[in-house]
Amino acid sequence: MSGARRAVLALLVLTLPLWLANPYFLHVVIMAGIFSILALSLNLLLGYTGQLSLGHAAFFGIGAYTSALLTLGPEWSFWLALPCAIALAALAGFLIGRLALKLRGAYFVLVTISFAGVIALVSVNWMELTNGPLGLPGVPAPVLGPWSLRAKRAYYYLVLAAVLLAYLVCRRLVGSRIGRAFVAIRENEALAESVGVDVTHYLVLAAVVSAAMAGMAGSLYAHYTRFVSPEVFLFGYTVTMVIMVVAGGKGTLAGPLVGAFIFTALPEALRAVTSWQWQMLTYGVLLVALVFFLPRGIVPAVRAWRVRNAP
């Protein structure tokens, strides 16, 4: 992207709430932002180290519940609850990483699914803590100094800052020695190990950072919808994240962002043009078609197209 285009994009993003007056559209953009963080987080594991976690909804849900419980029970401020949510999700990521990352491929996938399944059942059954299937209503909106961030416009900037932070963390990490170790493990684990890459150390590191980011997204989600229920653990959230990463282009930094925006907007657009029964059916068919024709994802496909048509 050239400098001028980048400046225009930055200007558009920064002024978005000023020209996008429709609150419904703004809501879709905020959700796309939260999903961008989740997609970036999953991409770190799936795209760079090559390990597919299908338990990411667990980290998202742990972040959401931690943040909601701390602001509801002891009435902590959002700015204290957010780091706690991130830390607890990171701890869960560390445990899962330590335990499960000696497994590879489909077996790692299944352990992560099961972990998320157990956590979801705990959230339904531990009535005293989580209020069970009824969920936790009335999660307070964050307050920044004298201002409440309850309005969608204000929340947009909060989410934007979080997306930027997640993006920059990923970019720094991927561009560093650590990122090269990740890619080396993805491409050839035995070879990476033979040149001195501590495979387990780097995989656990990727899992911790990834889980922490998902926890941050969970906290932002809890304080945005202001209601947390066991639905945050739905397998559907994980599936959405995977779709966003793979369709956007795994192992690229722009891919998850592109995927998150397309696949947050797509169901909403489908809802506008078709009836609700056809919405998810079309979504499934589109997903199959996308993987079928662009198995490497949108961003790499666009890049390849540009190279081919370069003057």
Partner 1 sequence: MAELLQHLVNGLVLGGTYALLGIGLTLIFGLMNVVNFAHGEFYTLGAYAAFAALGLAGANFFVAVLAAIACGAALGAVCELTLLRPLRAESIDTTMLVMIGVWIAMQNAELLVWGGVAKSIPHPFPTAPLRVFVLVLAAGLIVLSYLLIHTTRLGTAMRATFQDRDTAALMGVRIGRMHTVTFAFGSALAAAAGALLGPVFLAYPSMGDLASLKAFSVVILGGLGNLPGATLGGLLLGLAEELGAGYVSSGYRDAAGFVIIILVLLLRPAGLFRKQERIG
Residues that bind partner 1 (CB under 8 A): 46, 52, 99-100, 103, 105-107, 109-111, 113-115, 117-118, 121, 124-125, 235, 239, 242-243, 246, 277-281, 283-288, 291-292, 295
Q: 100 or 185, CB closer to partner 1?
A: 100
Going from the C-alpha of 151 to that of each of 62, 125, 135, the distances in angstroms are 25, 33, 23
Strands 227-228, 136-137: pairing is antiparallel
* CB-CB contact of 207 with 101 (8 Å): yes
| 260 Cβ neighbours under 8 A, 6+ residues apart | 32, 33, 35, 36, 38, 39, 244, 248
| 42 Cβ neighbours under 8 A, 6+ residues apart | 53, 56, 210, 214, 241, 242, 244, 245, 256
Residue 148's DSSP bridge partners are: 143
**Strand, helix or coil at 143?**
strand
DSSP 233: G
Q: 48 or 115, CB closer to partner 1?
A: 115
Q: Cβ of residue 116: shortest distance to partner 1, in angstroms?
A: 9
Q: 83 or 117, CB closer to partner 1?
A: 117
Q: Cβ of residue 270: shortest distance to partner 1, in angstroms?
A: 11
Rounded distance, CA 311 to CA 307, Å? 9
Q: How many residues does the chain have?
A: 311
Q: 113 or 154, CB closer to partner 1?
A: 113
Q: Cβ of residue 288: shortest distance to partner 1, in angstroms?
A: 4
Q: 46 or 72, CB closer to partner 1?
A: 46
Lookup: tokens for 46:
């799936």
Q: 33 or 249, CB closer to partner 1?
A: 249
Going from the C-alpha of 186 to that of each of 45, 181, 183, 277, the distances in angstroms are 10, 9, 5, 40
Burial 218-238 (b: 16+ CB within 10 A, else e): bbbbbbbbebbbbbbbbeebb
Q: 166 or 242, CB closer to partner 1?
A: 242
Q: Cβ of residue 282: shortest distance to partner 1, in angstroms?
A: 8
Q: Cβ of residue 301: shortest distance to partner 1, in angstroms?
A: 14
Q: Cβ of residue 87: shortest distance to partner 1, in angstroms?
A: 23
Q: Cβ of residue 253: shortest distance to partner 1, in angstroms?
A: 19
Lookup: tokens for 265:
């907007």
What is the residue-wise DSSP string for 166-187?
Answer: HHHHHHHHHHSHHHHHHHHHHH
Q: Cβ of residue 279: shortest distance to partner 1, in angstroms?
A: 8
Q: 141 or 294, CB closer to partner 1?
A: 294
